[in-house]
Structure 1
Amino acid sequence: MRDQLEEAHRHRDDGYGRAQHLNRVELPKRFYSAVDVVRVESGYAVTLDGRQVRTPGKKIPVVVPALAIARSIAQEWAAQGEFVDPAAMPMVRLINSAVESGEQTMPAFRAEIGKFAANDLLLYRADSPRELIAEQERQWDAALVGLARHFDIAFRPTVGIIHQAQPPETLARLDAALEGQGLLALTALVSITGLTGSGLLAVALLHGLLTSDAVWAAAHVDEDHQIRLWGEDAEATERRAKRKVEFDTAVSVLEALRQP
Structure 2
Amino acid sequence: MADNDNKKDDDVQPLFGDFVPGQQDSTQNPMMRAKEMMKGPLPKRFYKDVSIDETLGDDGRLSFRVLLDGRPIRSPAKNVISVPKRSIAEALQSEWNAQKTEINPAAMPLTRLINSTIDGVEVARQAMIDEMIAYLHHDFICYPASHPERLVERQKIHWLPVLDWAEEALGGRFVQASGITSIEQSPIMGERLRSLWANLDIFQLAAVHAIMTISGSSLLVFAFWKGFLDDTATWNAAMVDEDWNVEKWGEDDEATKRRAFRLQDYTAAVLVIEAFRTQADLD
TM (normalized to structure 2)? 0.83
Matches of 1:20 and 1:187 in 2, distance apart? 22
CA distance, structure 2, for counterparts of residue 161 and residue 175 of structure 1:
27
Residue of structure 2 in register with 1:182 after alignment: 201
1:117-156 deviation per Cα after TM superposition (whole angstroms, max 9, x unaligned):
2210111121221111111122111110111122322111
The Cα of 1:257 is off from its aligned counterpart by 1.4
Structure 1 residue 49: Cα displacement:
1.1
State the shift of 1:19 in Å.
4.4
Distance change in 2, residues 1:78/1:41 (3 Å): same
Q: Taking structure 1 as reference, are residues 142 and 112 closer, same or farther at Cα in structure 2, changes over 3 Å only? A: same
Bigger mean CA offset, 206-215 vs 151-160: 151-160
Q: Is the 8 A contact 1:11 1:101 kept in 2?
A: no
For 2:261 and 2:157, locate their aligned partners in 1 and report how far apart those are by CA, in whole Å. Answer: 26
Task: Identify the residue that residue 122 of structure 2 maps to in structure 1.
Answer: 103
> Quick one: structure 1 residues 18 and 144, their matched pair in 2 at CA, closer, same or farther if it must change by over 3 Å?
closer
> Structure 1 CA distance, aligned partners of 2:162 and 2:22?
29
The letter of the residue matching 1:197 is G
* Other-structure match for 1:93: 112
Q: How does 1:228-239 map to 2 (within 5 A)?
A: 228-239=247-258
Distance between the aligned counterparts of 1:238 and 1:12, measured in 2? 17
Structure 2 unaligned segments of length 5 or more: list them.
Answer: 1-18, 58-62
Cα shift at 1:20 = 3.3
Q: Measure, in 1, the Cα distance between the counterparts of 2:95 and 2:207.
A: 18
SS class of match (1:185): helix
CA–CA distance in structure 1, aligned partners of residues 254 and 21 of structure 2:
31
Instruction: Return the letter of the residue paired with 2:209.
Output: V
- In the TM superposition, structure 1's runs of 4+ consecutive aligned residues that sit over 4 Å from their partners are 5-8, 10-14, 16-19
**Alignment-derived partner of residue 176 in structure 2:** 157
| Residues 1:9 and 2:23 are matched in the alignment | yes
1:122 matches 2:141: yes
Output the amino acid matched with 2:266. F
SS in 2 for 1:40: strand
Kindly tell me: are residues 7 and 141 of structure 1, through their superposed partners in 2, closer, same or farther at Cα, counting changes over 3 Å? closer
Measured after TM superposition, the shift of residue 18 of structure 1 is 6.0
Query: 2:21–2:121: 8 Å Cα contact kept in structure 1?
Result: no
Q: Residue 27 of structure 1 aligns to a residue in which SS?
A: coil
Q: Equivalents in 1 of 2:33, 2:247: separation in Å? A: 35
Instruction: Give the partner amino acid of 1:179.
Output: A
> What residue number does 1:34 align with?
49
| Inter-partner Cα distance in structure 2 for 1:197 and 1:9 | 16
Within the alignment, does 1:76 sit opposite 2:95 as a pair?
Answer: yes
Q: For 1:134-213, what aligned pairs fall within 5 Å after superposition? A: 134-213=153-232
Aligned-partner Cα distance in 1 for 2:240–2:120: 32
Q: Percent identity?
A: 35
**Which one of 45, 70, 75 corresponds to residue 55 of structure 1?**
75
Shift of 1:100: 1.0
Between the aligned partners of 2:219 and 2:82, the Cα distance in structure 1 is: 29
List alignment gaps of at least 5 residues for structure 1.
none
Q: Is the 8 A contact 1:148 1:154 kept in 2?
A: yes
Q: Look up the equivalent residue of 2:45 and give its one-letter code.
A: R
Could you say what the CA RMSD is over the residues aligned between the two structures, in angstroms? Answer: 2.3
What is the rounded CA distance, in whole Å, between the counterparts of 1:12 and 1:30 in structure 2? Answer: 28
C-alpha deviation, 1:251, in angstroms = 0.4
Measure how far apart 1:225 and its partner are. 1.3
Separation in 2, partners of 1:89, 1:6: 16
More helix, by proportion: 1
Distance 1:70 1:13, change over 3 A: farther
